[in-house]
Amino acid sequence: MAPGEGGTVTTVLLLNGPNLNLLGLRNPEVYGSTTLADVEQAVTNLGASLGVEVRAAQSNSEGGMVDHVHEARHLDGIVINPGAYAHTSYAIRDAIEAVPVPCVEVHISNIHAREEFRHTSVLSPVVDGFICGCGVFGYELALRALVQRIAERSPG
């Protein structure tokens, strides 16, 4: 069954990590001038057109992100931009692995073209998809990929 079919509402979490609340202000040469509110609105609008409710959250703390991932176990999926925690947080990795919903990781910049410590994500082995280097448009790609993963997992 596709998202939004059969009277059920598909609900996903859009979770952003540390410093992403400063989108549009922090390093615009890397991250652009789009704000987090702009990203959340674009993803919410796309979600509505796909029959998906998007719940947005942002945390600058690792524990806060883990809590949001745990809460998402009652939802249908997660789009996550873990920010710098992608490179260091085994706690977030373990939370994603423990929650039985599909998850797509997104990064605004191409992490492979940046400093060496950013070239890997400890989360990537436990997510269902990984998108980087597409700017804020990557969030829309991530939502579309997540919706596809949710549809693939749905019976019937």
Here the tokens at position 45 are: 């609008």
Q: Please answer whether residues 73 and 101 qualify as being in contact, where contact means their C-beta atoms are separated by less than 8 angstroms.
A: yes
In residues, how long is the chain?
Answer: 156
SS3 145: helix
Residue 144: name the closest of 71, 75, 65, 47 by CA: 47
Active site residues: 31, 107
Sequence-ordered alpha helix ranges (H) in the chain = 28-31, 36-50, 62-71, 90-98, 137-153
Here the tokens at position 122 are: 């400890």
Between CA 48 and CA 109 the distance in angstroms is: 26
Phi, psi values for residue 103, rounded to 5°: -140, 135
